[in-house]
Amino acid sequence: MRRVLFIIFLSMGLAPGLRSQSPHGLIVKDTGKIILADPVSQTYMIRTKANKIYLPVALNKDFMQDGLKIIFEGNVDTARLKRARLAGIPITINRIIKQ
């Protein structure tokens, strides 16, 4: 049952944008919008055009603007996703620019 749920989670969560595998995990290149998820803890998410949600691990303060359209590239550590239950997919941002 866990394997089935994991396969469904991966197929739904990692479908958008360009993807390739690297030693550090899955590389995702996509466009999206910054969303303020929690104003109290200042937690931001990235929602892509395909409605996929990514949680940036360390988002630069210059990009912490609700509604900001961006182009981003980052690594998703697929080894840690097996046990993760989060509101989105954790991503380490490598490159990000305002659109």
Measure the CA–CA gap between 69 and 63, rounded to whole angstroms: 9
Give backbone dihedrals phi and psi of 34, rounded to 5 degrees, phi first.
Answer: -75, 135
Q: Tell me the CATH number for domain 2-98.
A: 2.40.50.500
> Residue 54's beta-bridge partner residues?
46, 89
Average of per-residue pLDDT across 64-74: 96
pLDDT band at 77 (very low <50, low <70, confident <90, very high): confident
Q: Are the beta carbons of 27 and 74 closer than 8 angstroms? A: yes
Cβ atoms of residues 58 and 45 within 8 Å: no
Taking 60 as the threshold, does the pLDDT of residue 81 lie above it?
A: yes
Q: Is the pLDDT of residue 16 over 70?
A: no
* Terminal Cα-to-Cα distance of the chain (whole angstroms): 41
Q: Where are the domains of the chain?
A: 2-98
Given the structure tokens 């929690």, which residue do they identify?
A: 38
pTM for the full predicted model: 0.72
